[in-house]
């Protein structure tokens, strides 16, 4: 049998070369078909589909072996049924409490944070005396100033305490509208927004340039929201209600929107914002962690394993959310916002975290342990904390604010004094 591959036809998958056959009774179309199939196989699998494995079968067997090894590794970490009876793992993560996986038990557990002792600088100022009821239960920074309050210095009258960190002077500015305890604050430009504990809650506005005052009342039922966070347009708070009411406040129109969560998602307090999501915890046992998607108006709730005490403070640094839990044993959670994994630390600190602030690159933690209080610095980069000597003149340390190395600490135990401390920066 002879073949004449003509040079008049290019070699391609669609144009077969001509063929002269004067010997065998085989039609040339069979060979043209084989030619087309070979070209198709090479287009799909490559010129050498077996690669270095000798045969395609050997190559597939090797690939299967790697897949099996990967499945074994997944099962070693999550178990043979990571969905735990739900439709699939995604269904479990989106809709259900669970004990394992990304949102479940801490992936790393460390016994303690390293801590050392730190000394207080001798300078301190008792800058609140003869007040009527309570101390500075809120505070904020404005340029070189630390503000605390508004505090009830006389029955029915409140004042903002100020301390100038440049020249170490202090004084008071009377306010007229706020008549209930302040809870939290947030500063945008020249305006300080203070959440006021009331039923329903109130947001008070103070213009720090003109000292103009205004206050706006939340919808009925949105009671006692404390901490505030900001997403670039709105302020958000979590109400201490059952179930939790989330509130959104528009600082331009001075209007509120209330969103009620599900039954069992009770008593909100600390709140934080990151990348179109709100993060908050319930004041329940066990503590429930809630991740709320603002654009989608959806949220995921799950139990925080081993944590039964309330979260007193949240703060976002970069892509990390820090959470501080108060109780007989203090706990700190470092939560990765990019993959929803977290680490739980049990530091060797005093009990009963009362308030946490962040400033000068350090967390400042004060504790409520009358008749004396302690104070702790925590460096989030090194995970080293520094325990101060007891603050013998602060018996019930509560709120605190830090600015330029100075820290305002309010006392919630009679005689309700308020102190400025200048602390050693570790």
Give the CA dihedral 150, 247, 256, 182, nearest 10 degrees. Answer: -10
Q: How high is the mean pLDDT of the chain?
A: 75
Q: Both tokens of residue 56?
A: 């395609």
The CA distance from 406 to 379, in Å, is 17
Q: Both tokens of residue 148?
A: 């605390």
302 near 98, Cβ under 8 Å? yes
Strand, coil or helix: 95: helix
pLDDT digit string (tens) for 103-114? 333 333 344 445
pLDDT digit string (tens) for 238-292? 999 999 999 999 999 999 999 999 988 899 888 999 999 999 999 888 889 999 9
**Model pLDDT, residue 413:** 56
227 near 238, Cβ under 8 Å? yes
pLDDT digit string (tens) for 303-323? 887 788 889 889 999 999 999
Nearest Cα to 392, choosing from 140, 126, 139, 150? 126
pLDDT band at 367 (very low <50, low <70, confident <90, very high): confident
Domain that holds residue 158: 109-423
pLDDT digit string (tens) for 379-415? 888 887 777 666 655 555 455 667 777 777 666 555 5
**Model pLDDT, residue 343:** 85
The answer to the question of residue 1 being in a domain is no
CA distances from 137 to 111, 355, 373 (A): 32, 10, 16
Q: Both tokens of residue 258?
A: 């209330």
The answer to the question of residue 96 being in a domain is no
Residues 6+ apart with CB under 8 A from 337: 274, 275, 316, 319, 320, 321
345 near 327, Cβ under 8 Å? no
C-beta atoms surrounding 117 within 10 Å: 8
The answer to the question of residue 23 being in a domain is no
The answer to the question of residue 78 being in a domain is no
The answer to the question of residue 98 being in a domain is no
The answer to the question of residue 178 being in a domain is yes
The answer to the question of residue 343 being in a domain is yes
Total-model pTM: 0.70
More confident residue, 425 or 185: 185
132 near 152, Cβ under 8 Å? yes
More confident residue, 192 or 86: 192
Q: Which residue matches tokens 């044993």? A: 329
The CA distance from 281 to 369, in Å, is 24
The CA distance from 142 to 128, in Å, is 20
pLDDT band at 125 (very low <50, low <70, confident <90, very high): low
Domain count of the chain? 1
Strand partners, 286: none
**Model pLDDT, residue 293:** 94
The answer to the question of residue 91 being in a domain is no
Q: What is the CATH number of the domain that holds 140?
A: 2.130.10.10
Phi, psi of 73 (to 5 degrees): -65, -40
């Amino acid at each position: 049998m002879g073949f004449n591959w003509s040079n008049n036809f290019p070699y391609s998958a669609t144009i077969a070369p001509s063929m002269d056959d004067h010997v065998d009774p085989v039609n040339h179309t069979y060979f043209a078909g084989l030619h087309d199939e070979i070209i198709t196989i090479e287009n799909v699998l490559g010129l050498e589909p077996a690669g270095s494995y000798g045969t395609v079968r050997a190559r597939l067997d090797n690939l299967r072996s790697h897949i099996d090894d990967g499945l074994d590794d997944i099962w070693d970490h999550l178990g043979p049924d990571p969905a735990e009876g739900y439709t699939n793992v995604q269904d479990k993560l989106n809709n259900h409490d669970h004990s394992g996986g990304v949102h479940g038990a801490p992936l790393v557990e460390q016994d303690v944070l390293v801590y050392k002792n730190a000394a207080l600088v001798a300078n301190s100022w008792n800058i609140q005396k003869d007040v009527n009821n309570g101390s500075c239960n809120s505070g904020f920074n404005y340029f070189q100033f630390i503000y605390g309050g508004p505090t009830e210095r006389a029955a029915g009258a409140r004042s903002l305490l100020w301390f100038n960190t440049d020249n170490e002077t202090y004084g008071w500015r009377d306010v007229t509208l706020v008549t209930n305890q302040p809870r939290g604050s947030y500063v945008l430009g020249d305006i300080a927004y203070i959440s006021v504990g009331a039923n329903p809650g109130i947001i008070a506005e103070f213009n720090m340039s003109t000292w103009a005052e205004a206050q706006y009342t939340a919808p009925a039922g949105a009671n006692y929201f404390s901490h505030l966070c900001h997403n670039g347009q709105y302020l958000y708070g979590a109400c201490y209600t059952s179930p939790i009411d989330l509130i959104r406040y528009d600082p331009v129109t001075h209007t509120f929107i209330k969103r009620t969560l599900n039954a069992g998602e009770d008593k909100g307090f600390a709140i934080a914002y990151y990348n179109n999501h709100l993060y908050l915890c319930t004041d329940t046992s066990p503590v429930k962690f809630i991740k709320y998607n603002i654009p989608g108006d959806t949220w995921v709730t799950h139990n925080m394993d081993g944590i039964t005490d309330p979260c007193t403070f949240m703060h976002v640094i970069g892509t990390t959310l820090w959470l501080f839990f108060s109780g007989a044993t203090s706990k700190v959670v470092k939560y990765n916002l990019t993959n929803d994994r977290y680490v739980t630390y049990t530091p060797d600190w005093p009990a009963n975290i009362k308030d946490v602030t962040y400033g000068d690159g350090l967390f400042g933690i004060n504790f409520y342990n009358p008749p004396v209080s302690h104070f702790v610095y925590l460096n989030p980069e090194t995970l080293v904390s520094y325990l101060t000597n007891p603050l013998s003149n602060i018996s019930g340390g509560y709120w605190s604010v830090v600015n330029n190395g100075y820290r305002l600490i309010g006392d919630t135990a009679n005689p309700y004094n308020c102190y400025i401390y200048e602390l050693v920066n570790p």
